[in-house]
Structure 1
């Protein structure tokens, strides 16, 4: 059209070309302004296992003070992403995506792409941000039999009954029956009520489970690691669990933090 306007000297063609160029310039500026001033963020889940889809949170913050962003797509490597129809000035938006990592060990999301077809859906403009989201992928969980270190075998699905004791974790607050020692009385709660309240603890009489990585069944190391990870996830909240491999041992313990430590050790075994 531009060549035609020059060759023919037609003023109407000149006007049309000028209008189209002005339209492209304005929409290009508006489109780039639409995706500028945005800060993306990736929040990984607390637990991430190899071969299992995990939900990541994608968060996008609009740092612009007076401009709203429209039709913004936030995308991770691999094509998974979310689209936000509108993000107001100074506002944030969140979306969920399911990502799967095939192998255990260290993993990272090194870039995030922000794109938008706004305002006329003729061009899609994008902006790639460098990211430093590093996390640990735990081993794939492979269910199996629980073998105690005292020769006792527990079938999967069975639970261990923990009796009342004085050396375990706090389980509940109950009314004072007269048989509990005075040191078990919860004085603060008793002061707020008419009756004495006592603290009831679980018993640590359950024998610890020491997982011997080299002695677990499996056709290779990866399968044994997967079985060990399942054992940790299954029992660490119910009984003390430890880990042994080669000449190293991690003493038995309970609780979520201890379980994360054991799973991290398994995830990084042979990958450092």
Structure 2
């Protein structure tokens, strides 16, 4: 485990070197947060308690979402492009011969990236939002701890989805289409643009049952205190179950791919 801990630290330090990109990301998240926040204020003024949120909770949803946007790599910036390029170039063969588990290696690296993004691009937009608007942030440290656990599980779920997308490169000449599809699904099914609780009828039930809801919708609802007691256990269990399913699916697909590595270039 010390190896994977070192890989996670390396992932953290790697992203910490891109200071200009981090500053630009903080600025973008903050500006986009203001745009969405004022849109939500207008919407909730016309439809109070839409989706079961009051206006303060809706605004909190906006700013917590912005703080988690880079953490979950919901609009790109994750590892899958690099992974796909290593498959295309044939460098993945070196990775497969390493005395380390391929999936755990990339998971550790992605967790290090996510930890930096939470600190580097998550704290400032949320703080700015809290100063500019009346937010419904929790006062209990236990709620914040549950939130961090939920963010961790959501990050693992996101990794599981993106790892499967990365493995598609073993069979596809170009992973761009898969990455675009993942990005679109991330935009609409995580709750990034609009809380999934607002989705009507069967559409909302299906969206909340899919793994994308575990990446953003569940962590935000946890910090809003909508899950507590047995409900909190169920919410975290939902995330953990999807994380396990996706990681196992990734291992199964990886095993098939490793038996017949097709080098698409190099």
Normalising by the residue count of structure 2, what TM-score does the alignment of the two structures yield? 0.25
Higher relative contact order structure (alpha carbons within 8 Å, sequence separation ≥ 6) = 2
Question: TM-score, normalised on structure 1?
Answer: 0.24
Greater share of helix: 2
